[in-house]
Amino acid sequence: MQATITIILREIFCDPALQPRVEGIDADHVRELEAVRETWPALKVVLQDDRYVLVDGFHRFAAAQNLGLEQVPVEVLEAPADGDLAGLAFALNAAHGKPLTLSDRRAFAARLLRAHPDWSDREIGRRAGLVQPTVARVREELERQAAIAPAELRKGRDGRSYPAAGKPAGGTGLAAVLAPLNEALERLVTPSERIAQRNLVRYLERLAVALEEQSELAGFETIAAGAEACRAVLGAEKAEELGERLGWSARNILDVAIALSYRDEPS
């Protein structure tokens, strides 16, 4: 990143395809910006093919045009190594300013999946700001449309490939009916230490199923949505307390998963 410089507005190339918002420029937001010109942060551009390409500040750019500004401050960023300016624009716009909508994030996830169907759902989710089950639904829709081919192996952030994860079937039918009887018999013939171990395993199996049910929770599309729901229902203080409880408990479970060879990129 270079220091902020001032350049002529018409020297900035604004490519609509790099604007990460599905609905495009919000005219109301542009008018709001026109009224507070002195608070604008510098636009962010990348020098590519001898021109400044806008990657952050599309609404400010439109406001500057409306105000008839001749010059604007900019920060010149290094072009990404992979040349993906759309990915850079999304990341910058997701970090501040007018919030990206769920539709914006899903559209970006779909774009990433079309370009990299072998990437894991978690890696796509990390880049798009979505939880893994949401990315999985976007992937399923693209596969139904034959827009992408199913990938048996998924590449994680570490560059390694992993088998696509499947959801285990729940215990139903006769097995569920006989479970209490089996447990009673086990207590009669099994050492107490092994019973404790099996109870622990059953707890972890039930917990895994409960965690996988995230995909069925309406409204839990992003991490931010989950946190906002907790604050709205519990209030800031109790939500913070819940965060402490979840973090402490989840750390223990994650350590067990890692001990069982989990590498954080199975999906």
Predicted model pTM: 0.60
| 13-18 CB contacts, 8 Å cutoff, 24+ apart | 13/51, 13/52, 13/53, 13/54, 14/54, 14/58, 14/61, 15/53, 15/54, 15/85, 17/86, 18/53, 18/54, 18/55, 18/85, 18/86, 18/89
Asked if residue 210 is part of any domain, the answer here is: no
Q: Can you give the residue range of the structural domain that contains 70?
A: 5-95
Asked if residue 203 is part of any domain, the answer here is: no
pLDDT < 50: residue spans in the chain: 1, 167-172, 266
Asked if residue 87 is part of any domain, the answer here is: yes
Asked if residue 74 is part of any domain, the answer here is: yes
pLDDT at 168: 42
Asked if residue 75 is part of any domain, the answer here is: yes
Q: How many domains, the chain?
A: 1
In the numeric block, the tokens 């559209």 are attached to 107
pLDDT at 11: 94
pLDDT at 215: 63
Asked if residue 29 is part of any domain, the answer here is: yes
The CA-atom distances, in angstroms, between 94 and each of 97, 148, 199 are 8, 25, 43
pLDDT at 186: 60
CATH number at residue 33: 3.90.1530.10
Asked if residue 136 is part of any domain, the answer here is: no
Mean pLDDT of the chain, nearest integer: 83
Asked if residue 230 is part of any domain, the answer here is: no
